[in-house]
Structure 1
């Protein structure tokens, strides 16, 4: 059978092209650490990687939501703690008023209560990142409005001294595909803040009369009920905090698991790849050497 002159060079060129292609691929894998550079190389693995990368993006957003919800909740807890500290002192003053002798002492306590009322209003209209935390979904409007006289003092007007103008619910945050959370206090709780401040105003006005009889047992009982509600509100926000921390931990662990799974699908074993690259390079050099020896021979070498 006749073998044409071009048969060996053509086969050699084809072989060298295949080896060169393998070397280039192995070099790229060593340089990038990635096993797959195109979907066509392993479509099943590539699709799994794409799905996991999309899930990582969703988890990243959930984690951002949780971090924002946590900041809002921390601010809420801080203001509730302020309310409780104010309530503790108000309860002390209401108790002390029962044993005071003389109108001057009563009026001195009234001045302190007035300062605490202003402090409570500051907490009620506290902001986080420029938004009112007790306003519900209406975070751009001051939620608690106070009726003030010409001197700026909070007083009882046509209605209550302080009213809540916010909404019933605050915004919710998605912490997972199916889980949401409300880091804000609800409208009912916020109304209780207004009630508490109004009871403080009532106590101040009673103290200003200078009469120990003006501070009634009902006033003290109402103030105790307000403190109970504040403590309950703080407890509820503590539960919210635990939920957020739990979801943050879950998202962090899931994100780590996804990274490991993606690495298992996409990454190469560098040590094995380097060994394989060396083998292919040696094969390439051997092919070139063998080809050079054969192509240098002529017909006279066989006579």
Structure 2
């Protein structure tokens, strides 16, 4: 077969373009840090990349939910600890007021302190996280504990639970039902802790004894039940969060292996391609001699 000058020129240009294409790919890998520019460069790797990236994004969403749930439960636990402290203080005051040595004046003074504790408990009942009331059930936009004209409280919250998804097909309630503590008493009457404390204060103001420590103890047990529930959910969220963090790290590393370029190898390849390109230009200058047409231009 006769080899013409045009055939040599065309072959040289094809080879040169191939080298330039390799250099372009290496340059993209160097500047972006990624292996492939288009899905067709590695169809299997592209599918794996989308799968792993989707898993990481979904895990981040679960972690965000777990963080929000942890914030709610941490604040709930702190609030319930304060309620327990108030109950202990009220019990001490009631025992002091129920002694035979207590006078009407001393009981009125104790009643004033109980009133301050009632106000504090109402503030706890209206605790907010991010502008949402955590004890109002699903009615998070309005304060659940509202004092009326008589000094007693009405409860605007409900017993609905707010559940968030912390993992695939796994949800956890992030709120505690404040109605069970602040609104429903052990006798079934709708007075709860707030109105119980208010009744104690009113009784002491008359100079009489408040002989209902048993009811106070039952209300304290309700608080402890809620604290136990909160603690169990906090532990579950902590375990789930740790597992999700490990899973995210694994997926991120796997994604990097599939998607990210080996920079050391890319630099080596680019240097090699650069040398080949320079050699090709030098060889082409010697092999592709000027033709008669070139002299006639």
TM-score (norm 2): 0.89
**RMSD of aligned residue pairs (Cα, Å):** 2.0
Indicate if the aligned counterparts of 2:96 and 2:102 stay in contact, CA closer than 8 A: no
Secondary structure at the counterpart of residue 215 of structure 1 = coil
SS of match in other structure, 1:175: strand
Separation in 2 of the partners of 1:288 and 1:48?
39
1:250 deviates by 2.1
1:250 to 243, 254, 257: 243
Shift of 1:190: 5.1
Native 8 Å contact 2:104 2:206 kept in 1: yes
Q: Secondary structure at the match of 1:202?
A: helix
**1:8-57 deviation digits (Å, cap 9, x = unpaired):** 11111111111111111112112222111110000111011012112222
SS in 1 for 2:114: helix
Secondary structure at 2:265 match in 1: helix
Stretches of 4+ aligned residues off by more than 6 angstroms: none
1:116 and 1:188 mapped to 2: Cα distance?
Answer: 19
Q: Distance in 1 between matches of 2:180 and 2:98?
A: 32
| Separation in structure 1 between the aligned mates of residue 275 and residue 215 of structure 2, nearest angstrom | 90
Deviation of the 1:245 alpha carbon? 2.0
Matched, 1:296 2:258: no
Aligned length: 285
Q: Identify the match of residue 268 of structure 2 among 271, 275, 284.
A: 275
CA contact (8 A) 1:192 1:226 kept: no
Distance (Å, rounded) in 2 between the aligned partners of 1:3 and 1:188: 96
Question: Counterparts in 2 of 1:13-32, with a 5 A limit?
Answer: 13-32=13-32
Verify the 8 A CA contact 2:138 2:161 in the aligned structure 1.
yes
Which residues in structure 2 correspond to 1:122-137 (within 5 Å)? 122-137=123-138
Deviations 1:100-147 (A, max 9, x none): 332111111111111111111111122222221111111112212333
Distance in 2 (alpha carbons) for counterparts of 1:121 and 1:37: 60
Tell me if structure 1 keeps the 8 A contact 2:27–2:270: yes
Does 2:191 match 1:198?
Answer: no
Shift of 1:297: 8.2
Q: Which residue of 2 aligns with 1:178?
A: 169
In 1, distance between residues paired with 2:184 and 2:79? 14
Quote the residue 2:188 is aligned against: none
Q: Deviations over 1:263-287 (max 9, x none)?
A: 1001122112211222222222222
The residue aligned with 1:141 is 142
Unaligned runs of 5+ in 2: 186-190, 293-297
Unaligned runs of 5+ in 1: 155-160
- TM-score where L is the length of structure 1: 0.87
Q: 1:201 to 1:189 in 2, by over 3 A?
A: closer
Task: Report the equivalent of 1:158.
Answer: none
Cα 1:55–1:200 change in 2 (3 A) is same
What is the DSSP-based 3-state SS (H/G/I as helix, E as strand, rest coil) of the residue aligned with 2:146?
strand
2:169 pairs with 1:168: no
